Each structure stands twice: as structure tokens, then as C-alpha cells.
Chains A and B, each alone.
Chain A
Amino acid sequence: MSLSSSIKLFTKNVVLLSCTIIVAGCAANSGGSSDAIYDPNEDRNRKVHAFNVSLDKKFVRPVATEYSSILPDVVEDSISNFASNLGQPSILVNSVLQGDLHGASLSATRFLTNSILGVGGLFNTAEKLRLKEHDTDFGETLYKWGADEGEYVELPLLGPATVRSTTGIIVDLFTNPLSYMVNSPERYYGTLASTSAGLSTRGRYTSTIDSILYESADSYAQARIIYLQNRRFKLGDKGTAFSADDPYSDPYEDPYAQ
């Protein structure tokens, strides 16, 4: 594929996406999220959760543990670095869509540094040079554009999400310019690397993830509250706060307060 046709295809998709986004924005807006947790499809979500847990138990967990223990840390880190470097162009596109030129320049610098000095992204040279990292996704772009969080959903394989972040995940399959530039089969390296990086994370945080999935009284409720708090923290979203549980209220005044 020539560069000019790649750029044309990328532009076409971005235009197409803008239309999708407007629709998605409306969809996300239909769910109110003034409450701390908005989960109208809890029954369905719990079924997906049960599926995810059994999948983790039978497949993901054993594979991830094996993966983490067999591969030397250096190799594991290289694969994770490679996957994260391939994600930078998508971060750049989303930064531009959010009007965040500083973030865009950070991800551009990181991508160039790690691709060139870090041997195609295998080494995280940018981190060694103490360059600041920027992370974002299309879910955040939607948040910045004013779309509501929407209802909570648990996705098969991918786990906890909201309607807004799910739209973001789907759109981000298209926002990465790299996927338009690289011919197959190399384009699958990225997917393969991300999957491996995912396994690596599952392996390294085994005890934390196990404690949520297998040691808590209600793993669905735990995963939900942990995901929502963390996602809102990353977005800097103070509007969708757990209002009834203001973390800065003084528990010494009335510890049993709701």
C-alpha cells in the first residue's frame, strides 16, 4: 500500500468515525450517571462476569502465570515496551482530537525516541531519558467532548467498562494510523504484542487480580467499584463522584455514616 493511499484511507475512516461518534455520544448521553454507580443491566453483566471468571480460571490465569514465569523479565518488558510504543500514534491522534497539543507532542516524542533510539520500540529509552509519558484513548476524547459515562457494562474477555469507554475501545481500533500503513502479516505483530503485554500484566499482578476475582465476597461488585473509581481518577472526572461517599469527609465525625 502506498503512503498516499494509506493517508486517504486513514482520513476517510476518521470522517466516518466522526459520524459514529455523534451517534455514540447520543447513546452515551441517554444513560444518566449522576449516581455513583449506574448499572441497569446488572443481571446480564453478572452473567458475563461469571463467564469471564471461568475463562480466567481455565485459560487466562494459567497461561499468564506460565508466560510470566518462563520468560525472563527483560524479554517480557521488551514485548510490553513494543506494544506500548505501537499505541503511541493512537494516543497522538486522540490528543489532537482533544485539542491537547502538549499531550500530542509528548506522545510524538516518545514514539520517535523509542522507535529510533529504543530499537523499534523494544527498549523504553524515553523512560530512561525521563521524558514525560502521556496516555489517553478515545473514551477520554468522548469524556472531554462532554459525553456522559453511560451505564456500566462488563464486556466478555475485556472485563469492566462503561458505554462511553466501550465506544472508545471500538473507535480506537481505527484511530491508530499504524494499522493503515503496515502490510500484513506485520500488522498482527501489534495485536500479538498487546495480547502478550496483557498476559504479562495478568501474570505480574496475579495476587491482586486473584484477590478481586477469587477471594472477595462478591467479585462482580468489587471489580465494578474498583474499575469505576480508577477510570474516573484517570479521567480526572470529579463530576461523577461517589457523592454519598466523599473520600475527604471526616470518618472520625461519624464512622457509620452512609
Chain B
Amino acid sequence: MLNNITRRTFVALASSSIAIAATPSWALTQDEARKLVDSLVAKINSVIGSGKSEAAMIKEFQGIFRRYADVPIMAQYSLGVDGRRASASQKRAFGKAFEIYIANKYGKRFREFVGSKVEVKSSRKINAGYEVKTKASLRGSAPFEVTFLVSSKSGKDLFFNMFIEGVNLLLTERTEIGALLDRNGGNFDKMIADLKKAG
């Protein structure tokens, strides 16, 4: 009896301590989500303000994208249902090509923030983590909204989607990858080769 209780208590204790130990790794708090976007925005602003050459800025923006975005989940989502047909090695090759493509493409997009100020406005809880809204104020035009969806489900606090004035990066890229696959008659290897040339 005593033995029984002890064992039960032990199991309960052990599982709760596992839960406690596990908490920080995947339960992102609102503060942490905001902090991530704050630091991302600060990095973008500092590159914009650095006065470096355009080519150098694009390089830095690409680095920022790699550091703050969960690129593997973006790659998987962009493949969509077609991804189920791909072999493990095709998925790996696609993931690699996608990482270069996406960092090039969106790294360049950050360039348009030059001369602007980006600030975090609000945040709220969503299924996968948090949504953090920012406002970019640009010279000579109305400010626009840039939203980041942040999650820690990859094991790190990273953003996995981004909306610029309502335009969803993942949805837009799924359309693009789908079109690239169509153009290559549904052939993954040819699509990956094409993706390497793009961006």
C-alpha cells in the first residue's frame, strides 16, 4: 500500500517535473513573441540606418530572414498537398532550394523599408502561437501594416508567416510553388532545379 502510494506519487511528480522542464521550450508567451518581433524590427531598422550599399543591405536582410524565420515549416506549407507525393530526398532538396529562394526574395523586400520606421503595435494569441502587428511608416505614402505570426513549436521562437497589407506570404508562395510545379509537368526534380534559378 505504502509502496503503491509512493510509486503513484513518484509518477505524478516525475510527469509534472517533465511538464515544468518542457514548458519553456514550447510555450511561447505574448511577451516573448513581441520581444522576437521587436528585435527583428530593430535589426531591420539598424540595417536601413547603416547607410551601407544596397547589395550589402540585401545580404544583411537575407541573414535576418534566416535568423528569425522558421524556413522549414514555410517550405513544407508552400509545397501543400503535392508535398505528400514527394520522396524524402526530394523534400530535403526542396527545403534547401527553398531556403535560398525565400531569403533572397524577402530579404530584398525588406529593402523597401528604407527611409521608414517600423514599430510594434499589438499582439494576440492564435492557434500556433502569437500574432504580432507592426506598422511601417514610409516616406510620402500612408503607413502600412506588417503582421508576423510567431511560434515556438520548432523549438525556437521564430516567425512562420508574414502579412504585408493583408498579403499572406505562405499563401502567395504556395501559389508560386504550385505554378512552378505545373510548369514542370508535376516533376519535383525539375521544379527544384527551377527554384534554384529563381529568387
The answer to whether A binds B is yes
Residues of A within 8 A of B (CB): 73, 76-77, 80-81, 124, 133, 135, 204-205, 207-208, 211, 215-218, 221-222, 225-226, 229-230, 232-234, 242, 245, 247-252, 255-258
B175 touches A211 (CB 8 A): no
Q: Could you list some 12 contacts between A and B, CB below 8 A?
A: A73-B139, A133-B142, A135-B142, A208-B109, A234-B166, A242-B171, A247-B168, A248-B128, A251-B161, A252-B151, A252-B160, A255-B77
CB pair A77 B139 closer than 8 Å:
yes
Q: Which of A81, A217, A256 contacts B76 (CB 8 A)?
A: A256
Chain B contact residues, CB within 8 Å of chain A: 73, 76-77, 79-81, 83-84, 105, 108-109, 111-112, 126-128, 131, 139-142, 149, 151, 153-154, 160-161, 163, 165-168, 170-172, 174-176, 179-180, 182-183, 194, 198-199
Provide the bound-state CA to CA distance between A251 and B70, in Å. Answer: 11
A233 with B166, Cβ < 8 A, contacts A216-B176, A226-B172 known: yes
The answer to whether B112 and A77 touch across the interface, beta carbons within 8 angstroms, is no
The 3 A-B pairs with the shortest beta carbon distances in the complex, nearest first, are A233-B166, A218-B179, A255-B76
Chain B residues with CB below 8 A from A232, complex form: 166
Nearest neighbor of A225 in chain B, beta-carbon distance: B175
Contact present for A211 and B171 (CB under 8 Å): no
Closest B-chain residue to A249, C-beta based? Answer: B127
Closest to B174 in A: A245
CB pair A258–B81 under 8 Å, yes or no, is yes
Bound complex: CA A158 to CA B160 (Å): 33
Residues of A contacting B79 in the complex (Cβ-Cβ under 8 angstroms) = 255-256
Contact A230:B167 (CB < 8 A) given known A248-B126, A252-B153: yes
Contact B165 A230 (CB under 8 A): yes
B175 and A229 form a contact (CB under 8 A): no
B160: shortest Cβ distance to chain A, in Å? Answer: 6
Contact A229 B168 (CB under 8 A): yes
Query: Which residue of B83, B160, B175 contacts A256 across the interface (Cβ within 8 Å)?
Result: B83
Partner of A251, one of B76, B112, B139: B76
Contact A229 B166 (CB under 8 A): yes
Residue with the highest number of chain A CB atoms closer than 10 Å, among B77, B105, B154, B182? B77
**Hey, which chain B residues are within 8 Å of A208, CB to CB?**
109, 112
- B175–A233 CB distance below 8 A: no
Contact A250 B83 (CB under 8 A): no
Closest CB-CB distance, A51 to chain B, in whole Å? 20
Query: Inside 8 A of A234's CB, which chain B residues have their CB?
Result: 165-166
Residues of A within 8 Å of B165, CB to CB, are: 230, 233-234
Selected contact of B198 from candidates A215, A233, A248, A258, CB within 8 Å = A215
Asked whether B151 lies within 8 Å of A221 as measured between CB atoms, the reply is no
Instruction: Given contacts A204-B112, A248-B149, A252-B160, list 17 more A-B pairs with CB under 8 A.
Output: A80-B141, A216-B176, A217-B179, A218-B175, A218-B179, A225-B172, A229-B166, A230-B165, A242-B168, A245-B168, A247-B149, A250-B128, A252-B73, A252-B128, A255-B83, A256-B84, A258-B80
